[in-house]
Every structure is written in C-alpha cells, then in structure tokens.
Amino acid sequence: MENKVRCKKYAVYSNQNCITTLLVEMIRGEMAEILLDNILRLFSTETFGKDKSAYYVGGEKKLMNLIEAGKIESDKPTNVQNGKWHCNAAQVLLHCRCAGRKVKSKKRKK
C-alpha cells in the first residue's frame, strides 16, 4: 500500500510525487539565486543617480540612511550644489523596496 503525505500547499500526493515536487522547488530556488547573482555582478560596475536610487530603495531619507550605514557606496565627484551623485547600482538593487501593485480605488456609486 502506498503511503500518502501532505506536501506543502498541494493536495495529498504519493511520496514519489512529493519528493519530485520538492526537488523542482529546490532547483527553482537555486536557479533564482544564480540569476540574482548574475544580475548583481553585471550591475556592480554600473551607477545610478540620486533620484533613481531613492526611487528604488523607497525614498530619499531611506537612501541617506543606507549610505550613512555604509550599505550603499555613493560618490559625488564634483563638490557643487547640482553635481551628479553616483550610487553603486548592485547595492541599490539589493536594498530595493517591494514593488507592490498599486490598487486603484473604486468610485463610489450613489
């Protein structure tokens, strides 16, 4: 008789199907890590400006906190008021906020 087990959020499967499902999830997880690593390596030589970096991390104040904490490397080559900032793109992407979908409010019916 075949043993039945509950496998995460799926219905009841046999042991073999559950093991296969878990292996597929592990491979997907490893693949996601590899892809993220490739993206971060590619962007490690790129820079974003202050506005784009602030947009990705969730605001200018959060960007300043991350820079002060040393989590994001930044540089301002010219010491003038409107000089361009250079923030390491890979570090900005590591600290980006969740891009949730904006829900449009429905109009009230009278």
Q: What is the pLDDT of residues 68-85, one digit of tens each?
A: 999 999 998 888 888 899
Instruction: Give the mean pLDDT of 9-27.
Output: 61
Q: Do 28 and 69 fall within a single domain?
A: no
- CB 66: neighbour CB atoms within 10 A? 20
Phi, psi at 82, each rounded to 5° = -105, 30
- Whether residue 102 is predicted with pLDDT greater than 80 in this model: the reply is no
Please report the pLDDT score of residue 36 as a whole number.
Answer: 86
Longest Cα–Cα distance of the chain, Å, equals 78
Q: Are residues 64 and 30 in the same domain?
A: no
Say how many domains are in the chain. 2
- The pTM assigned to this predicted structure is 0.64
12 lies in which domain range? 1-36
Percent pLDDT > 70 in the chain is 72
Query: Do 27 and 53 have their domain in common?
Result: no
For the beta carbon of residue 43, count every other beta carbon within 10 angstroms.
17
Do residues 87 and 74 touch, judged by C-beta distance below 8 A?
Answer: yes
**Mean pLDDT across 5-21:** 55
Measured between alpha carbons, how far apart are the two ends of the chain, in Å? Answer: 62
